[in-house]
Amino acid sequence: MLEEPTKSLSLSKRASIAILFLCLSGGVHATIVRIDALPRMSHNADIIAHVLVGDKEIRKEPNGRAVELSRLEVVDGLKGAKSGDILTVFQVAGVIGQSHFRFGEELVLFGMKHRDMVVGYGVGLGKFRVLREGNKIAVVEDLQNVIALGSNLKARSYPSLSLFKSTIEESLKAPWQVVPVGALRKKEARVR
C-alpha cells in the first residue's frame, strides 16, 4: 500500500512540474517567460520605436540555421532609432512563442541590438500592436504563445497611442535603479 508523503509540494512547484512534463512530452507549444514592468523594459531596451512592418526574408546562415529577417520602417523613434530608419528584426526561424511580424502591421517594438540588426526584447515579448478603429488608436501587447510563471498573464493595453508613448517617455526620464535579483526575493519574502 502506498503511503502519503509527509511533505507536500507547493502549488507552484506542482504547476512547474506539470508544465515541464507537458513540454517534454510535446503537449505544450508555448514559451515560458518573465514579464518585466514597462519602466524596466523601457530602460533595458536598446531600441523603442513606433514602426510599420515591411517585407520579410527567410534565409539560411552559413551554419545551416534558417533565420527570418523582418524589415520595419520607423514612424517615431522613442529610444535608439529615429523616424525614417529601417530596422531589421533577426529571428531564428521556427522558435515557438516568438513574435510574428506581418506585412503592413503597425506596432511599438522594444528591441535589443544584435550585430547590425534588432532582436525582440524577449522571446514573444516587446511587441505592442497599434489598433486603429475610426478615430481611436489603442495599443495592446501581443504575447503570442507565452506563459509567465508565477503570475496571471494578461496582455497590457492602453486606450491611446499617445498615452502609451508618454508613459514610455516618462519611464525613460525617471532614474532607474538596478536591484539584484536576490534582494528582490528577500523583499518579497518579508512581504508575505
Ramachandran bin of 97, using left for φ above 0, alpha for ψ from -120 to 50, beta for the remaining angles:
left
pLDDT for res 76 = 98
The fraction of the chain above a pLDDT of 70, given in percent, is 67
Instruction: Please state whether the predicted TM-score (pTM) of the whole model is above 0.75.
Output: no
pLDDT tens-digit series, residues 49-77:
999 999 999 999 899 889 999 999 999 99
Rounded Cα gap, residues 173 and 75, in angstroms: 21
Q: Is pLDDT of 175 > 90? A: no
Determine the CATH number of domain 36-144+151-173: 2.40.50.120
